[in-house]
Amino acid sequence: MPDRKGGGVRKSCEAATLYYRILSKSTEFRLNYSWRSAQESLQAGFRATLVVISVYATLLETGGCFPGRECILSPGEDFFPLIFSELREIQRQFGYLPADQLKALAKKIDVPLYRLHGVASFYPHFHLTPPPKADVRVCQDMSCHLRGAGALRAGLEESFRQSAFADAKLGGVSCLGRCNEAPAVAINEHIYTELSQNQITAMVGDLLAGGALPEISQVHRRVSCASDPYGAGEHYQTIQRLMKSRAWAAAFETLKSSGLRGLGGAGFPTESKWQLVRQAAGSEKFIVCNADESEPGTFKDRFILTHLPHLVIEGMILAGVLTGAQKGVIYIRHEYEDQEKILHEEIRRCMRNGLLGPQVLGSEFNFDLEIFVSPGGYICGEETALLEAIEGKRAEPRNKPPFPVQQGLWNKPTVINNVETFANVPTILFRGVDWYKSQGLNGAAGLKFIGVSGDVVHPGVYEVPLGTPVSELIFKYGGGIADGKQLKGFAPSGPSSGYLPASMADVRLDFKSLADAGSMLGSGALVVCAEDRCMLDMALNSTQFFRNESCGKCVPCRVGSQKLVEMLTGWTEGSGSAADVALIDELSGALRLTSICGLGQVVPAPIASVLKHFRAEVESHILQRRCPAGVCPCGKRSGGRAAPGFAAAKLGRA
């Protein structure tokens, strides 16, 4: 293994930085290597490009080192927190990122200014201009949309106007992860839930008058969960057993027999992923926990991190020992400050007890664990975009293959799993396959945490057997539809799963049943819609979310999502055309086939499902210019008259 120690460029630069410097003909290389031939070639136009490509390829192949020479790059050591920690500190001091401070930082950490600016401008957490004294953002997505966020924002606009607030800004924001307490509002990035218009207006008035925002009281009483094998007993018994028995093969066989699959959305077999990393060449490997749940309706990982942090961390330690990885990273969304504190405390406890750090439990295994706080963005939940963020880059998905198990963090083999997946591993290894399989229903195995939100009496996270019918989640656990209304539809797992009608409420929450129904289990985010909801309006709201959160890297997603929003908006306003349906079908196919990552591929899911299951409602908007639920603008302006030429039209069946 080459020595990766050193200062200046040797400690912090990446291959991209070196590439930039060669192109810039910089002479400030502090490398233990002769560059005379490269410098001469730089004078020769095309030959210079060949040299650059050769140098760049060598760096990529050797992990930043020339054969027999001192390594100049240090991926995975201290670099990854550097850019973001520095940017956060600047923003803490100034409230935003002043241009002169970015220039100074670029020089300090030896990173090109264009790259630093590109990173800072990508993430919503950072501000390049001074923010207002009161920055109010109302969550506008799915669950909050169902629970009155639109009316709340409209009321606040009127209140702000009447109060003549001079230095206050009101806008929308993507899902804040408080779907069970909707509607949620962020005031200067402090998240509040279930507040009235008058309460928010008063808080903003106090803030503008020089006061402070009220503290958010968070008292977390640990909830007992059936999936916790330890109960009130000693934690981390599974890793202790494994280190004593050293039965690595048996542990892998247990995971394989259990059939545990990824519970963050993709559903890839966990044992297969871990085996691929274990068998990968090289001694440097990583374990990454994706705790960046940002899809509307998804908040069950927040519950798990609050009440079962020991299982998540133990699952990561087990993954490290079984695959040979020596470092783990928990990637958590920045809105989860309380959960970050809980994890930090749990990590400190593990270090005191010898479960983390050098020589885990007195063995030859080393495993360090750090927390990386996301600078924001739904796209960061995509596994390769998440890796790009950790590496201090814009969170833009990578082309696959290669997959993270081959070239993940810092191009090293990497296990990436969801919070719930890691939490399941200790339970399976401790209690055994038979227990795990006995917990499911209808042939499914294990327990599942499901977040229930929307039009239910008791929104929250419920731990149920995998294979439980949706109707049971809604009516038994969720208390039924709010205000005694009837069920109209539901999304089994947020907007990416699409919408199913009330007639399918007995579908079971497991991988196969939902796939057969044309949906998916996803991350377990059940969003419920009552009878007076407009499903076209819900499809538009979901598509707007995807449009807003597209990273913009690939044209199909960037342009296609905007085009879909425009067409659906036209339908809700009564200006659509029957010809739009064929165009939507064509556009949907292009998005599924050509988008780089899963975000672009699921953009059409909401409207495709609504056209399939609620087609008459869509036809009413287009043919009669009328919203049956009275939610959309169409009909309110035109009096509900049918559009000329559309009265007898028939929409083509997709």
Task: Read off the pLDDT of residues 368-419 as tens digits, 9 standing for 90 and up.
Answer: 999 999 998 999 999 999 999 999 999 999 999 999 999 999 999 999 999 9
* CA atoms within 13 Å, Cβ hemisphere of 367: 29
pLDDT of residue 577: 82
Q: Is 107 exposed, middle or buried (0-12, 13-18, 19+ CB in 10 A)?
A: exposed
pLDDT of residue 527: 98
Instruction: List the domain boundaries for the chain.
Output: 9-62, 82-122, 134-208, 237-431, 447-529, 535-623
Beta strand 184-187 with 190-193: parallel, antiparallel or unpaired? antiparallel
Which residues, in sequence order, are CB contacts of 419 under 8 Å at separation 6+? Answer: 264, 289, 290, 291, 293, 301, 304, 305, 312
DSSP for residue 148 = T
pLDDT of residue 23: 33
- The amino acid present at 132, given as its one-letter code, is P
Distance CA 531, CA 629 (A): 8
pLDDT of residue 149: 97
Q: Which of 94-98, 133-137, 249-253, 641-645 has the weakest average pLDDT?
A: 641-645
Q: Which of 11-25, 301-315, 562-576 has the weakest average pLDDT?
A: 11-25
Which residues, in sequence order, are CB contacts of 483 under 8 Å at separation 6+? Answer: 530
pLDDT of residue 635: 64
Tell me the whole-structure pTM to 2 decimals: 0.86
- Per the listing, tokens 């239910």 go with 456
* Mean pLDDT of the region 546-557: 94
pLDDT of residue 493: 95
Residue 288, φ and ψ in degrees, nearest 5: -125, 130
Segment 456-513, tens digit of pLDDT: 999 999 999 999 999 999 999 999 999 999 999 999 999 999 999 999 999 999 999 9
Beta strand 414-418 with 286-291: parallel, antiparallel or unpaired? parallel
Q: Which of 99-108, 210-219, 517-526 has the weakest average pLDDT?
A: 210-219
DSSP for residue 382 = S
Whole-number percent of the chain with pLDDT over 70: 84
Contact between 330 and 291 under an 8 Å Cβ cutoff? The reply is: yes
Q: What are 385's two structure tokens?
A: 């975009």
The partner residues of 261 in beta bridges, in order of sequence, read 269
Q: Is 487 exposed, middle or buried (0-12, 13-18, 19+ CB in 10 A)?
A: buried
* Mean pLDDT of the region 260-271: 91
pLDDT of residue 516: 96
Q: Which of 13-27, 54-68, 127-141, 216-230 has the weakest average pLDDT?
A: 13-27
pLDDT of residue 264: 85
Superfamily of domain 134-208: Glutaredoxin (3.40.30.10)
pLDDT of residue 649: 35
* Mean pLDDT of the region 224-239: 93
Q: Is the peptide bond before 309 cis (omega within 30 degrees of 0)?
A: no
CATH number of 535-623: 1.20.1440.230
Contact between 31 and 72 under an 8 Å Cβ cutoff? The reply is: yes
Distance CA 322, CA 273 (A): 12
Q: What fold, for 237-431? A: Rossmann fold (3.40.50)
- 309 vs 3: which has the higher pLDDT: 309
CATH number of 447-529: 3.10.20.600
pLDDT of residue 233: 83
* Mean pLDDT of the region 172-184: 96
Q: Which of 63-67, 128-132, 440-444 has the weakest average pLDDT?
A: 63-67
pLDDT of residue 81: 52
pLDDT of residue 357: 97
